[in-house]
Amino acid sequence: MSWLAALGLLLLQTGASGFGICPGKSLNHQEITEEALLNVTAHVCQAVALAEGKDFTFPTLTPQSVAVACGASKSSKCFRQTIKIIQNSNKRVDARPPYDPRYHFDNEKFTEGKKIITDGLIAVKASNEINNFVVAREKLGQILHPLQDFYSHSNWVEMEMDVPNSNLIKSDSSIGDIAGENRATCRDCVGDDCTNNIFEDILKEKILTSGYFDYQVLISNKPTGKCSHGGKYDDSSEIPPRGGISKDTLDSSHGNLHIEAANLAIAATSELLEDIRGAAGDKTFLQFMGISKGKALCFVIDTTGSMSDDIAAVRTVTSAVINSRVGTVDEPSVYILVPFNDPDFGPPTKTTDPNVFNNSINSLVATGGGDIPELSLSGLQLALTGAPRNSEIFLFTDATAKDQHLKSTVTALIEQTKSVVNIMITGTLGGRRRRRESGVKSDAQLYRELAQLSGGLAIEVSKHELSVAISILTKSSSSSLVTLLQACRSLKAENFTFMVDESLSNVTVYITGTSVAFTLISPSGVSQESSSATGSLITASESVGNFKTLQLKTQPGLWKIKMVSTNPYNLKVIGESPIDFLFDFLEESQGPFECLDVVGNRPRAGVNGSLIVTLTGSESATVTEVILVESSGLREVPGTVEALDGGDYLAKFVRIPTEPFVVLVKGKNKNGSSGFFQRQSLTSIKASNVTVTSPDSNSILVPGITLSIPFFVTSGAEGNFSIRATNDRGFNSSFEFLEFGGCGYGSVNLTAPSTTPPGTDVTLTIEAEDPGSADMNYVVLRFTVLKTSIDPEDFCSGDLWY
Ligand SMILES: *[C@@H]1O[C@H](CO)[C@@H](O)[C@H](O)[C@H]1NC(C)=O
Ligand SMILES: *[C@@H]1O[C@H](CO)[C@@H](O)[C@H](O)[C@H]1NC(C)=O
Ligand SMILES: *[C@@H]1O[C@H](CO)[C@@H](O)[C@H](O)[C@H]1NC(C)=O
Ligand SMILES: *[C@@H]1O[C@H](CO)[C@@H](O)[C@H](O)[C@H]1NC(C)=O
Ligand SMILES: *[C@@H]1O[C@H](CO)[C@@H](O)[C@H](O)[C@H]1NC(C)=O
Ligand SMILES: *[C@@H]1O[C@H](CO)[C@@H](O)[C@H](O)[C@H]1NC(C)=O
Ligand SMILES: *[C@@H]1O[C@H](CO)[C@@H](O)[C@H](O)[C@H]1NC(C)=O
Ligand SMILES: *[C@@H]1O[C@H](CO)[C@@H](O)[C@H](O)[C@H]1NC(C)=O
Ligand SMILES: *[C@@H]1O[C@H](CO)[C@@H](O)[C@H](O)[C@H]1NC(C)=O
Ligand SMILES: *[C@@H]1O[C@H](CO)[C@@H](O)[C@H](O)[C@H]1NC(C)=O
């Protein structure tokens, strides 16, 4: 991309339409997508049940009912999350500039639009084949957008076609005759009535055309005689032939055909999902949808010479997990193993087969790594990019990190994936190393910070205690684990409260820290001191190294725990319950619509902001309060809560804290008589004054061909940004960056070696830091390596850049 083009891109503040992205009476992309995802998933579960000779009652199409009908009620949160990821990635095509007509089938870009779909479909299937569901879901959302827009923006519906155009998803077939460049397709509309503006011969001969769309362009895109998209954002509809043909909403130029178009879009989406199912098989398809299994089991292991005891402990616990959970609802959905040593790390093993996983754990050998420290953060980076969101990752090491320069990248990935990192530190880190290297943090401080900001634990135990510690932690890795409270404090006595609701079982308190004393007080006022290991409130307790767990007697109501410590400690209260929540920050869409778009990185600091909260696991529970709680415990910002459709809530805050914080949700479960509940997010959230954005690209990387990825940075303050561009595969990359007056733009060149196997995913993290304030923000981009026929010119030709 040239700098001139980059500047053009900055000036081009646009984004165009499709089925309305704002909530309203009309069906929008999100509803169309959800309807089809629920429909096909329910059909797949039906087929699986019938094949197993089980009864199946076809559910009403809600995420909760479909998950229950699929016999996977515990995965309803994951299913809900999958749907949201696909919806958001679909919606982003509209919400993020630059506007690209190919993604909307505008401007008669039929061949180009179809190519986006068929190339993307290849990428989805290739990613599913290697269990890379993270990339597959994002890609799916991206190609559903043009697929659905075809029915709204072309004249397919006007040609009285009542089934989807199946050739849109087939690489080698024609989608029909497309109007020639010089063929007039539309006449001026008569007054406000635009229903008969497409020429009769076009419709009779079944010639495909679509509306042209101009948004703040200097020279119109629309050739003489062509139809326009229409609507208030499309300037071309003022140029004869006036009016438009879009069916985006009931109020659009062809709004009378909106329902037909939306129904065809649902059917076409179902058809594309069926195609993916056919390639993946039912079992993999359900995993792709986030249905049917427990959480990921993810180990990151130091394999240097001194780690043989640790590896043995990991073997034991792996066998225990496999033996106790395979075949149950808590069977891990995927197993991930990332070894690291020095100078090597990876490759990750990622499998759904417990035997394959057991074998790869068995084949780990502790060798090498003479000069401690090791590449632990490189290993962790691969685990974070490879694991599903909200995963729990266990990292085992006995050495400090050599690659501390990756700390901010790992931080960004923890925030972005909301995954929890538990770090098992065996032995005293200093003990293995006599010499201190300058700039390398000593001891376990870096590990403690990373575990803490992810909401995980840094457990420091001797090698012979490791088996006990890890088996305590993995025992409670049920997929319906929820967090009631989590807090880290240093040198501070504090009284905490937490609400235990009737849906909870197995309420457990985790404490890490040395010399921590506490008093527990039950809702009925009974109290118990930490000095008595068991009593009427604690049914079981275990203690190893700096780590202690207490199983509480389950008694609904408000509990208190008074903590007294002269050392830093971490307190975490968890339990098992179907009721949990998902959330995303929202920002003003950068497109022309007055809408809110999901923020994929740090939200803006110090200004107002909104959150979308989705309650999962119960159709009767409601949210009453959403509170941003500073991680230090010092301040809280309560939000105003408004119920939206389908279990979603919009929470608005007058100010997003400038200090790190977590999200606390309180609500009422109508199921219970006392019914109040609370749930807390784990990852520590940081807001930022810096913004980093990158337009969604094709996200396909061709081996041996350099892809240029543009990005933009803004900040309220003047300053020199430091830019970092890191990828998890060690591919060659370079960047250039130009800055002026608090904002800047640049591009990263990324190249996959020509020998990279197809289907490989690579995650690129671009960070911008304002060195004055150490304020940082980032954008995380995922690519699939595929040999396709993509012409690199596609990225910078045509009307994409002007
Ligand atoms: C629902 O899915 C089934 C099977 O995948 C498909 O045959 C049917 O057409 C879909 N229904 C709609 C309305 O898309
Ligand atoms: C894992 O492999 C070990 C060693 O071959 C074997 O003893 C153990 O039974 C296996 N565990 C499972 C759960 O298959
Ligand atoms: C905790 O509560 C007790 C009374 O139950 C009170 O004496 C003490 O000061 C409180 N501690 C803190 C840190 O607020
Ligand atoms: C609601 O109550 C029923 C019957 O008491 C129980 O089986 C179910 O688990 C409860 N659901 C929740 C979400 O608490
Ligand atoms: C509580 O956890 C134990 C294992 O720690 C498990 O066996 C039991 O089924 C759990 N109880 C419930 C109600 O989930
Ligand atoms: C911030 O407040 C303004 C003015 O009230 C409002 O228009 C905007 O939507 C709010 N932003 C967010 C993200 O809620
Ligand atoms: C962002 O700017 C505000 C002033 O507008 C300042 O108070 C705050 O500290 C800044 N936040 C960060 C993270 O630098
Ligand atoms: C940015 O860096 C350059 C060179 O290091 C320096 O001359 C300039 O003063 C810096 N600008 C600001 C605003 O810090
Ligand atoms: C990126 O690649 C383009 C063309 O392939 C080249 O012109 C540009 O200089 C490269 N930029 C960097 C930072 O390597
Ligand atoms: C990576 O960059 C190095 C140095 O510029 C070069 O020698 C090497 O060929 C590049 N590798 C690939 C796969 O492009």
**Widest Cα–Cα separation across the chain:** 88
**How far is ligand 2, taken at its centre, from the CA of residue 322, in Å?**
9
Alpha-carbon dihedral of residues 694, 695, 701, 706, nearest 10 degrees? -70
Whether the predicted pLDDT of 283 surpasses 70: yes
Q: Which residues line ligand 1 (CB under 6 A)?
A: 36, 39-40, 43, 266-267, 270, 274
Ligand 5 atom 13: residue of nearest CA:
505
CB 773 near ligand 7, within 6 Å: yes
- Could you tell me which residue, 259 or 438, shows the higher pLDDT? 259
CB 718 near ligand 8, within 6 Å: yes
Which pLDDT does position 698 carry in this prediction? 64
Categorize the per-residue pLDDT at 373 as very low, low, confident or very high, splitting at 50, 70 and 90: confident
- Could you tell me which residue, 374 or 266, shows the higher pLDDT? 266
Whether the predicted pLDDT of 164 surpasses 70: yes
How do residues 84-94 score in pLDDT, each as one tens digit? 999 999 988 88
Ligand 5 atom 11: residue of nearest CA:
506
Place of tokens 């087929």: 47
How do residues 544-582 score in pLDDT, each as one tens digit? 888 999 999 989 999 999 999 888 899 999 999 999 999
To test the ligand 6 pocket, which listed residue (22, 588, 604) has its Cβ within 8 A of the most ligand atoms? 588
CB 770 near ligand 7, within 6 Å: no
Which pLDDT does position 661 carry in this prediction? 96
- Separation between Cα atoms, residue 168 and residue 116, nearest integer Å: 10
Which pLDDT does position 330 carry in this prediction? 81
CB 751 near ligand 9, within 6 Å: no
Mean pLDDT of 143-165: 97
- Separation between Cα atoms, residue 160 and residue 178, nearest integer Å: 16
Mean pLDDT of 651-665: 96
| Structure-token pair, residue 630 | 């500073």
Closest CA to 226 of 242, 207, 206: 242
Whether the predicted pLDDT of 609 surpasses 80: yes
- Separation between Cα atoms, residue 792 and residue 211, nearest integer Å: 26
Q: Taking a C-beta distance cutoff of 8 angstroms, is the pair 517, 484 a contact? A: no
Categorize the per-residue pLDDT at 202 as very low, low, confident or very high, splitting at 50, 70 and 90: very high
CB 2 near ligand 8, within 6 Å: no
Closest ligand to C-alpha of residue 163 is 1
Which pLDDT does position 21 carry in this prediction? 39
Spell out the residues 6+ positions from residue 177 whose beta carbon is closer than 8 angstroms to its own: 205, 206, 207, 208
- Separation between Cα atoms, residue 130 and residue 117, nearest integer Å: 20
Highest mean pLDDT: which of 147-151, 416-420, 587-591? 147-151
Burial of 711 (C-beta count, 10 Å sphere; 0-12/13-18/19+)? buried
Which pLDDT does position 540 carry in this prediction? 86
**How far is ligand 6, taken at its centre, from the CA of residue 251, in Å?**
26
Q: Taking a C-beta distance cutoff of 8 angstroms, is the pair 676, 763 a contact? A: no
Which pLDDT does position 658 carry in this prediction? 94
Ligand 3 atom closest to residue 495's alpha carbon, by position in its atom list: 1
Closest CA to 379 of 409, 340, 348: 340
How do residues 85-134 score in pLDDT, each as one tens digit? 999 999 888 876 678 899 999 999 999 999 999 999 999 999 898 888 88
Which pLDDT does position 789 carry in this prediction? 53
How do residues 233-258 score in pLDDT, each as one tens digit? 899 999 999 999 999 989 899 999 99
- Separation between Cα atoms, residue 551 and residue 689, nearest integer Å: 42
Which pLDDT does position 152 carry in this prediction? 96
Closest CA to 142 of 783, 785, 802: 783
Closest CA to 550 of 524, 519, 593: 519
- Separation between Cα atoms, residue 180 and residue 207, nearest integer Å: 9
Whether the predicted pLDDT of 9 surpasses 60: no
Average pLDDT, the chain: 87
How do residues 667-679 score in pLDDT, each as one tens digit? 998 766 668 999 9
DSSP assignment string, 507-526: EEEEEESSSEEEEEE-TTS-
CB 671 near ligand 4, within 6 Å: yes
Mean pLDDT of 770-782: 89
Closest ligand to C-alpha of residue 320 is 2
- Separation between Cα atoms, residue 693 and residue 97, nearest integer Å: 10
To test the ligand 9 pocket, which listed residue (3, 708, 735) has its Cβ within 8 A of the most ligand atoms? 708
**Strand boundaries in 634-742, DSSP class E:** 636-638, 640-643, 648-653, 661-669, 676-680, 690-693, 700-701, 707-715, 722-727, 732-740
Q: Name residue 637's amino acid.
A: V
How do residues 744-766 score in pLDDT, each as one tens digit? 999 999 999 999 988 888 999 99
Closest ligand to C-alpha of residue 540 is 5
CB 495 near ligand 3, within 6 Å: yes
Categorize the per-residue pLDDT at 590 as very low, low, confident or very high, splitting at 50, 70 and 90: low
Mean pLDDT of 272-277: 98
Which pLDDT does position 74 carry in this prediction? 83
Ligand 6 atom 3: residue of nearest CA:
608
**How far is ligand 5, taken at its centre, from the CA of residue 576, in Å?**
8
- Could you tell me which residue, 25 or 466, shows the higher pLDDT? 466
Claim: this prediction has a pTM higher than 0.75: yes
Which pLDDT does position 6 carry in this prediction? 35
- Separation between Cα atoms, residue 551 and residue 125, nearest integer Å: 44
> Which of 385-394, 630-639, 670-679, 740-749 has the least mean pLDDT?
670-679
Q: Taking a C-beta distance cutoff of 8 angstroms, is the pair 554, 523 a contact? A: no
Query: Helix crossing, 133-153 with 76-95: angle to 10°?
Result: 50
How do residues 717-739 score in pLDDT, each as one tens digit? 777 889 999 999 999 999 999 98
| Structure-token pair, residue 533 | 């290991």
Mean pLDDT of 700-712: 92
DSSP state of 645: G
For residue 662, which phi and psi values (nearest 5 degrees)? -125, 165
Beta-bridge partner residues of 482: 575
Whether the predicted pLDDT of 799 surpasses 70: no
Which pLDDT does position 533 carry in this prediction? 65
Closest CA to 294 of 354, 359, 248: 354
Mean pLDDT of 774-795: 74
Q: Give the per-residue SS3 of 549-581.
A: EEEECCCCEEEEEEEEECCCEEEEEEEECCCEE
CB 578 near ligand 4, within 6 Å: yes
Closest ligand to C-alpha of residue 605 is 7
* Residue 635: Cβ within 10 Å count: 11
Share of the chain above pLDDT 90, in %: 60
